[in-house]
Structure formats: structure tokens, C-alpha cells
Homo-oligomer: A and B are copies of this chain.
Amino acid sequence: MDTRHMRYFVALAETLHFGHAAARMNMSQPPFSRQIAAIEKTLGARLFERNSRNVALTAAGRHFLEECRAVLADFDAACRDVQLVASGVKGELKLGFMMNAAYSVVPALVRLYSEKRPDVRLVLEERIPTDIEEMLIEGRLDVAVTFGGSPATHLRTTLLARDRLRLIVPRDHRLAKLDIAGPTDLATERLIAAPASVTPTLRDAIRNYCASPGVVPHFALEPRLQHTIIRLVAEGLGIALIPQSLCADLAEGLISRPIMDAPEFDIVLCASAASSNPAVPVLFEVAERLGGALSLRAPG
């Protein structure tokens, strides 16, 4: 049995006439009759009730007809889809992103891309930057939105936005009274920041920022998620320097302040070396078009 046999069967089931069905299959009637007989033999059941005058489907034939139509439709669709997937018009794209990209960059990127490639299913995975890097290398992600300047071997990288550090403190904190803070203001404070194993970029930026005037930062708590950091600051357990993009909608009781000579870092789209998903290039096109135009929401 093969799909060709199924097509013969469907042709006969629809015409109920060997000659016409054979013509539809662009062949002559005798070999067509033989194929139908062969199908019935290999399947081990009569599909047609026929004499030299009339052809009719049996109950098994009627049932088989339905199944054949479905199978053939799926079969043809699968074959047709291959080119679409290969050309990146259809398929699946695994996009990783870190949390501070979730607010503005990723939604804008996803919206624009989905308009251009509605048949590509975007699988979004929010992860911490170090995991993202690992997954990119292993090919478990096709692309990711993460910090620039990573040491990983990435095929392609494009700038999406620039972000900078900003101070968040409880509303009644002494630093809340300042219009702008500097490294020395942080000297006596309990700092909350993710460990270097989670986001080396941020951790290094904070340490270098404090170290420039010789301040040794005191990291009181080290949660892994930026959301947790914000939450702990709101609980009065310390203060934090976090990406400006996360300061847009702070909880009641929290306030953010700019800092002098705030460290900046790139937020980039970067492709996996391992994956060569044909849906990726268009995402980069979209990302480049978005590029500078994209401004991260600063707090009001």
C-alpha cells in the first residue's frame, strides 16, 4: 500500500467508474483495475461491490474513503509545508529572553515579527542570562534577547536597545530625598543584587560602579530574579541598582532615582551557533528595523 494506491482508490470511490477513474489518474483502465484488485488483496477486504456493470462502495470502502481523504490531505500538506519551513515562512522559533527585556523589547519584537511571519510559532522562554547563553550554545534556543558583550560564540548579534542602571529605594529611605545618587552614597547601604552566576553583566557593572571611587559594595542578599530584588527592596531589606527598563511600574512604596554616570549596557538579539533555523533571518531584519527606534520606557 502506498499513497498512490490511495489516490487510485479515492478516484474510483468518487467516480464509481473504472474507466473515468483511470482517466483521472492519467492511465488506461486495465492497469487501473489491476491496482484496485491489488489494493483489496493486500488490505484483505473488499472495498467495492462490483459486477461488469455497476460499481459501489462497501461499508469498509466508505470508511476507508474517509480515512484516505484525511491521510492524503495530511500527506500533501506535510510535503508542501517543507518548503515553507525551509524558507522560514512557517515553523517554530524558540526565543529566549531575560526578564528585563520582557517589558518593552520582547513585546515589540514579537508583535512586528508575528505580523511578518504569522505562521511561525514563537516559543518564548524567559530565563536568566547565563542559562540563555548555555541554551544558545546547545541549540535549545534559536535566538535570544540578552545582554551584549557575551563571550559566547554567537553567529550574529544586533543591538536592540541600550539600558542603564538606576537606583531603587523605599519611598521613606534617606536616598529617596536625593535627585541623583552617586557611588559613595551606596557605601554604607545593604545592596541587593543577583549573583554573578546569574547575570555577570549586571553584577560586574554594579561592582565596577562602586569600585571606581574605591567603595566596596556590601551585597546583603543575592536572589536570582530581578522581580525578587524589587520585592525585597520594597520590604525594606536593602536597596538595589537595577536596569532602568524594570523601573517603569514599581510597587507602591518604592521609588527610583537616576545615578551619576550610570553604567550602560546593550540589549541585543543574538542567534545560536548551533541552530540554523531559517525563521531567524527575518527576525534579525525586524530587530534591525526596530534597532535604535526602540526607546526603553523611563519612569515618569
Min Cβ gap A3→B in Å is: 6
Given known A59-B278, A71-B74, A71-B78, contact A64–B49 (CB-CB < 8 A): no
Given known A3-B2, A46-B86, A71-B74, contact A64–B91 (CB-CB < 8 A): no
Residues on B with C-beta less than 8 A from A79 are 1, 43
Residues on B with C-beta less than 8 A from A83 are 43-45, 60
Q: CB within 8 Å of B: which of A273-291?
A: 275-279
User: Once the chains bind, are B81 and A67 in contact (CB under 8 Å)?
Assistant: yes
Name the residue in A4, A49, A59 with the highest tally of chain B Cβ atoms < 10 Å from its Cβ.
A59
Min Cβ gap A37→B in Å is: 15
* Alpha-carbon separation in the docked complex, A164 to B23 (Å): 59
A68 proximal to B (CB < 8 A): yes
User: Once the chains bind, are B278 and A82 in contact (CB under 8 Å)?
Assistant: no
Residues on B with C-beta less than 8 A from A78 are 64, 67-68, 70-71
A114 proximal to B (CB < 8 A): no
* Alpha-carbon separation in the docked complex, A118 to B49 (Å): 26
| Cβ contact of A60, chosen from B58, B67, B75, B85, cutoff 8 A | B85
A63 proximal to B (CB < 8 A): yes
User: Once the chains bind, are B2 and A91 in contact (CB under 8 Å)?
Assistant: no
Residues on B with C-beta less than 8 A from A46 are 86
* Alpha-carbon separation in the docked complex, A114 to B1 (Å): 32
Q: CB within 8 Å of B: which of A52-72?
A: 58-60, 63-64, 67-68, 70-71
* Alpha-carbon separation in the docked complex, A78 to B64 (Å): 7
Min Cβ gap A275→B in Å is: 7
Closest to A65 in B: B78
A47 proximal to B (CB < 8 A): yes
Closest to A77 in B: B67
Residues on B with C-beta less than 8 A from A2 are 2-4
User: Once the chains bind, are A81 and B63 in contact (CB under 8 Å)?
Assistant: yes
| Cβ contact of A74, chosen from B44, B67, B277, cutoff 8 A | B67
* Alpha-carbon separation in the docked complex, A58 to B83 (Å): 12
Residues on B with C-beta less than 8 A from A67 are 74, 77-78, 81
Since A58-B278, A60-B86 are in contact, a sample of 8 more A-B pairs with Cβ atoms closer than 8 Å, ordered by chain A residue number, is A43-B82, A44-B83, A45-B83, A45-B85, A59-B92, A60-B91, A68-B78, A75-B75
| In the A-B complex, the 9 residue pairs with the closest CB atoms | A45-B86, A67-B78, A60-B86, A60-B85, A59-B277, A63-B85, A43-B82, A45-B82, A2-B2
